[in-house]
Amino acid sequence: MNDSGPDIKNNKPHFSGHRERLRDRFRKGGSDALPDYELLELILFRALPRRDTKPLAKSLIERFGSFAEVISANPERLKEIKGIGENVVTEIKLVHAAALRLSQGEIMQRPALSSWSLLIDYCRSSMAFNEKEQFRILFLDKKNVLIADEVQQ
């Protein structure tokens, strides 16, 4: 097979089967088996089922700097990238919401002040890439368990 053109034996382009190969690598090796742009490609597959997502994933990483910054980016800033529409923004923000929910689940109903690193990780994932500074109030019960997290406007 030649990266510059079709495979002479079966007349398929070099990118034929790319999505399935990427999914297989992810299934076998998890997120560590993929660079940021390929992990982002997997997300973009759902929003852009019939389009080559590699150039878009690389553009997003180049523009925002990292996978985390793409996922945390403001929807309006995401739409500034050519090829990004509502479907792509929805998929990206869905991943962001899931990450936040996971982070909250790890700290809610657990002693917050006995684990500063977990509390810092939670705060970082909740607001690290926001464009505006936030004032948050973390409500704790008498055993220092987080029971609510409110962003003050």
Is 72 within a domain? yes
Is 20 within a domain? no
Is 25 within a domain? no
In this structure, how many other beta carbons lie within 10 angstroms of the beta carbon of residue 102? 10
Is residue 136 within 8 A of residue 123, CB to CB? The reply is yes
Predicted local distance difference test score (pLDDT) of residue 111: 59
Predicted local distance difference test score (pLDDT) of residue 103: 75
Is 1 within a domain? no
Is 77 within a domain? yes
- pLDDT (tens digit per residue) in 56-81: 999 999 999 999 999 999 999 999 99
In this structure, how many other beta carbons lie within 10 angstroms of the beta carbon of residue 41? 23
| Digitized pLDDT (tens) for each residue of the chain, 153 residues in all | 444 444 445 565 555 688 899 999 999 998 888 999 999 999 999 999 888 999 999 999 999 999 999 999 999 999 999 999 999 999 999 999 998 888 777 666 665 666 778 777 777 777 777 778 888 888 888 877 778 888 887
Question: In total, how many domains does the chain have?
Answer: 1
Give dist(CA 65, CA 91) in Å, integer. 19
Helix axes 36-47, 18-29, angle to 10 degrees: 120
Predicted local distance difference test score (pLDDT) of residue 81: 94
Is 96 within a domain? yes
Is 83 within a domain? yes
Is 16 within a domain? no
Whole domain around residue 85: which residue ranges? 35-152
